[in-house]
């Protein structure tokens, strides 16, 4: 899992390249809490080792109604994003200053789980789309379970106290 600070602060920058050797494609599953104050405070995903690689997508913004961009909407993906190849590079930059009254959840940042596949395509072209979505969801769920097994469950408020 790769993630920014929570919440992100002014002039925050994140740059990370991850490689899964032998994978034909990677899948990025974004946390539902992903948000940035403006849609230009965004995460850019590249399929390769640097920003000269093919761009997969740009994601930013929030649905909390904060920030005054021309299109105040959340453009963080709700479904896994496919990245061809075995390497992905993430650039995240907060170019805006935090406005007064902007709550932390509107500037949460991002978290993404990266899964891989050694097949050239996620499924045959004859497979119905819902089976492809089911396969991707199961892969992401499996990654999340492995992370819980590795790190253990989150501490409850009672345990922290």
User: Could you read off the pLDDT of 22-44 as tens digits, one per residue?
Assistant: 889 999 999 999 988 877 788 99
- Summarised one tens digit per residue, pLDDT across range 99-156 is 777 788 888 999 999 998 766 554 444 455 556 667 777 877 787 777 777 777 777 8
- pTM greater than 0.75: no
Residues 6+ apart with CB under 8 A from 20: 26, 86, 87, 114, 116
Q: What is the pLDDT of residue 4?
A: 93
Q: What is the pLDDT of residue 50?
A: 94
Domain positions in the chain are 2-160
The two three-digit tokens of residue 67, written as one number: 């920030």
User: What is residue 119's predicted lDDT score, i.e. its pLDDT?
Assistant: 60
Residue 96 pLDDT exceeds 80: no
CATH number of 2-160: 2.60.120.290
How do beta strands 42-46 and 81-84 pair?
unpaired
Whose CA is closest to 23, among 74, 100, 87, 104?
Answer: 87
Please give the pLDDT value at position 19. Answer: 93
Is pLDDT larger for residue 16 or for residue 129? 16
pLDDT at position 124 is 44
For 66-82, the pLDDT digits (tens) are 765 545 455 789 889 99
Residue 6 in this model has a pLDDT that exceeds 70: yes
- The number of beta carbons lying within 10 Å of the beta carbon of residue 131 is 13
Q: Tell me how far apart the alpha carbons of residues 84 and 55 are, in angstroms, rounded to a whole number.
A: 11
Cα-atom radius of gyration of the chain, to the nearest Å?
A: 17
């Amino acid at each position: 899992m790769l993630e920014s600070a929570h919440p992100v602060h002014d002039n925050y920058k994140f740059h990370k390249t991850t490689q899964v050797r032998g994978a034909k494609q990677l899948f990025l599953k974004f946390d539902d809490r992903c948000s940035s104050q403006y849609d230009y405070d965004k995460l850019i995903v590249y399929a390769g080792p640097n920003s000269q690689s093919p761009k997969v997508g740009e994601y930013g913004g929030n649905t909390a109604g904060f920030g005054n961009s021309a299109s105040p909407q959340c453009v963080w993906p709700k479904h896994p994003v496919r990245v061809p190849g075995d390497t992905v590079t993430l650039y995240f930059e907060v170019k805006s200053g935090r406005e007064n009254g902007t709550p932390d959840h509107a500037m949460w940042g991002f978290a993404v789980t990266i899964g891989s596949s050694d097949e050239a395509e996620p499924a045959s072209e004859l497979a119905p789309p819902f089976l492809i979505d089911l396969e991707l969801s199961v892969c992401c769920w499996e990654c999340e379970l492995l992370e819980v097994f590795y790190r253990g469950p989150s501490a409850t408020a009672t345990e922290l106290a």
